[in-house]
Amino acid sequence: MTDAQDQIRETVNSNSVVLFMKGTKSMPQCGFSSRVAGVLNFMGVDYKDVNVLSDEAIRQGIKEFSDWPTIPQLYVKGEFVGGCDIITEMTLSGELDQLFDAKGVTYDKAAAEKIREANA
């Protein structure tokens, strides 16, 4: 499993924003992955998507790497942020904006506001 762990660590550390998901950002293959990718896509975040369905070692390895049992998993600047429910809550509360601001991640602030307005 160390090869998968090394690959995960390299991916997380070499990309500002990484989403480990089922499917890809352009074709998510589960509702939870679709929701998080949809938020990031709508907000114009430049992120690396990792399709865990294409590599069983990565699919299992990411759960051990983060000590988090579910996918999707979002990482920002090397730090595990959370899964679908956490990202949804953070988006609606504005915490995701604050995290992106603090970490220097570029995103569309107006799009983030539209998400909150639509869910108010």
Q: What pLDDT sits at residue 17?
A: 98
C-beta separation of 93 from 99 below 8 A: no
If pLDDT is split at 50, 70 and 90, which confidence band does 1 have?
A: very low
> Mean of the per-residue pLDDT values for the chain?
96
**Amino acid letter, 44:** G
C-beta separation of 49 from 25 below 8 A: yes
Q: Determine if the pTM surpasses 0.85.
A: yes
Pick the CATH number of 2-118 from 3.20.20.70, 3.30.70.3150, 3.30.1330.90, 3.40.30.10: 3.40.30.10
Question: Which tokens is 64 given?
Answer: 């051990």
Candidates 84, 76, 89, 9; CA nearest to 45 is 76
Is pLDDT at 120 greater than 90 in this prediction?
no
Tell me the β-bridge partners of 18. Answer: 48, 75
pLDDT tens digit string along 35-81?
A: 999 999 999 999 999 999 999 999 999 999 999 999 999 999 999 99
Residue range 84-104: mean pLDDT, rounded: 97
Sorted by where each begins, the domain ranges of the chain are: 2-118
